[in-house]
Amino acid sequence: MRNGHRVSGWLDGYVALVTGGGSGIGRAVAERFVTEGASVTILGRNLDRLDEVVRSSPDPSRMHAVAADVRDSDQLHAAVAETVQRFGKLDTLVTNAGIWDYQRQLTRLTGKELSDTFDELFSINVKGYFLAAEAAWRELVKTRGSIVMTLSNASFYVNGGGPVYTASKHACLGLMRELAYELAPKIRVNGVACGGMNTDLRGPESLALQDRSLATSFAKKTTDTPPPPIPLHDSSTDPRDFTGSYVLLASREQSGPITGQAISVDGGIGVRGFASAAGGDHL
């Protein structure tokens, strides 16, 4: 609202569903979508956190919270139905819920740890995307809508995580491209490959890292910390500054001919490559 009048944005009248919308990039995208004129359902496992996001939204009347686990197909179908019941349709699905492996290397994991971490991380990061797309595609066909997947620099380069996380994000890139082919011409499917940001990304329970937050790592950095080896080393790590590409890809008016593409928002890692902080100390 501005001077009592609603200001139209790129997503005016749109309806979106964002998984993992309670914090980090998911919350930032949901809030940006509302600012751009959309109505948004945010989905996550912690209803109290989701409700807090709704209360602090730019327009709480256009944001709705649903508690659900992306590993549960029935819960995802219910979330889609609730979104349509509340807002009348669904234009955009943002698959975003995920966890990180905190760069746990293969040689630092036992066989059981590796197996359990793989099962947990892939069930959220990859299966969660599959199931959300399956739950939403019927409604998206009706609106000629789109899916925007949160990818990562780890979808293209090594050392954005450990082997389990990197494999999961490579899998999501392949899933995005396959669904772009399968769901055309009615649904566009694209991705945003984010670089490092100050976000409340958690680790797997299988490694007892569920209470560790990536935001803590950023908080520990000081002005004396050497810049990372990427061209835009002074670029923002605020999740809100990563949201523009999601708006672009969600808007059929702005990106109608675009599908099967991943926009890298990573400070230029792809220009220089991703240097490993591990050096030669692998084994």
Q: What are the catalytic residues?
A: 165
Give the largest CA-CA distance in the chain. Answer: 63
Do 16 and 41 touch, CB atoms closer than 8 A?
Answer: yes
Do 187 and 147 touch, CB atoms closer than 8 A?
Answer: yes
**Closest to 121 (Cα-Cα) out of 45, 48, 172:** 172
By CB atoms closer than 10 A (0-12, 13-18, 19+), residue 237 is middle
Tell me the three state secondary structure of residue 85.
helix
Do 180 and 143 touch, CB atoms closer than 8 A?
Answer: no
Q: Which residue has the tokens 């950095």?
A: 221
User: How far apart are the C-alpha atoms of 46 and 66, rounded to whole Å?
Assistant: 9
